[in-house]
């Protein structure tokens, strides 16, 4: 199962080619250029590094979000276009899942993994998982403890602690940005650095595709968690009329 994977949820676009449980090639590109300027050239570059062409891809995988609204739209549209042309299926992987799988590779079974993604405005996108005994990258490898949400890191962590949930591990851009809050409120928790995610997205997608968990390209939708600013502004204008 050959998978071409793309993550455009952050400024640092990453792409990877995965075959079953092996990463054939991965690429993180120049952050001085926009996603639109880097695509599809970066995808062609990682395919060339893996020594396959786009026709040799079985499944197209993309980060579903949350993240940059513009980045999400560009990344999903690019992969949808390739999948349509090649008449192939897609797998959309939430960034929460990809981050938690990265942490699960280093954490013990039963470890509680918190994913914090910088949501700006002093907020984080968050979710919590427990690592199960299932095999790496399998859909049941992660057991959801707290569903994706958005909020400020202080209240988010306080809510978890008040219900007896103390993460063993934090991972994500928000975890690194607000590591002092973690150190203060959960001093035994470890904050992992966040690698480029395209390779993990590809590994997770390969397992999901093997289990038949693919979708038609038109069915892929972004996971925003928080509504786009344009929609919020439009609602405010409508209420004032």
- Give this prediction's pTM: 0.91
Q: Domains of the chain (ranges plus CATH)?
A: 2-94+196-228 (3.30.420.40), 96-192 (3.30.420.40)
Residue 149: its H or E element:
strand 142-151
Distance (Å, whole) CA 93 – CA 240: 38
Residue 85 structure tokens? 């042309």
Indicate the DSSP class of residue 241: -
Residue 181 structure tokens? 């809050």
Distance (Å, whole) CA 56 – CA 35: 24
Q: What is the pLDDT along the chain (241 residues), one digit of tens a residue?
A: 999 999 999 988 999 999 999 999 999 877 778 888 889 999 999 999 999 999 999 999 999 999 989 999 999 999 999 999 999 999 999 999 999 999 999 999 999 999 999 999 999 999 999 999 999 999 899 999 999 999 999 999 999 999 999 999 999 999 999 999 999 999 999 999 999 999 999 999 999 999 999 999 999 999 999 765 545 444 444 555 5
- Local structure of 181: helix, strand or coil: helix
- Local structure of 105: helix, strand or coil: coil
> Residues near 235 by Cβ (< 8 Å), separated by ≥ 6?
none
């Amino acid at each position: 199962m050959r998978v071409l994977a793309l993550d455009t949820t952050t400024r640092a676009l990453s792409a990877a080619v995965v075959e079953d449980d092996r990463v054939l090639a991965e690429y993180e590109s120049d952050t001085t250029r926009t996603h639109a300027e880097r695509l599809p050239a970066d995808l062609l570059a990682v395919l060339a590094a893996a020594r396959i062409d786009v026709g040799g891809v079985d499944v197209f995988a993309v980060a579903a979000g949350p993240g940059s609204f513009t980045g999400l739209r560009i990344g999903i549209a690019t992969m949808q276009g390739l999948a349509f042309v090649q008449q192939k299926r897609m797998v959309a992987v939430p960034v929460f899942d990809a981050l938690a799988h990265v942490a699960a590779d280093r954490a013990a079974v039963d470890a509680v993994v918190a994913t914090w993604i910088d949501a700006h405005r002093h907020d984080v996108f968050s979710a919590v998982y427990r690592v199960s005994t299932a095999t790496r990258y399998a859909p049941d490898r992660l057991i959801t403890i707290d569903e994706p949400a958005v909020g400020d890191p202080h209240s988010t962590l306080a809510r978890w602690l008040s219900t007896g949930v103390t993460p063993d591990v934090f991972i994500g851009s928000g975890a690194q940005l607000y590591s002092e809050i973690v150190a203060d409120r959960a001093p035994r928790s470890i904050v992992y650095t966040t690698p480029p995610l395209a390779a993990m997205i590809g590994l997770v997608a390969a397992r999901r595709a093997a289990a038949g968990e693919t979708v038609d390209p038109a069915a892929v939708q972004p996971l925003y968690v928080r509504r786009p600013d344009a929609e919020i502004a439009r609602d405010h204008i409508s209420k004032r009329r």
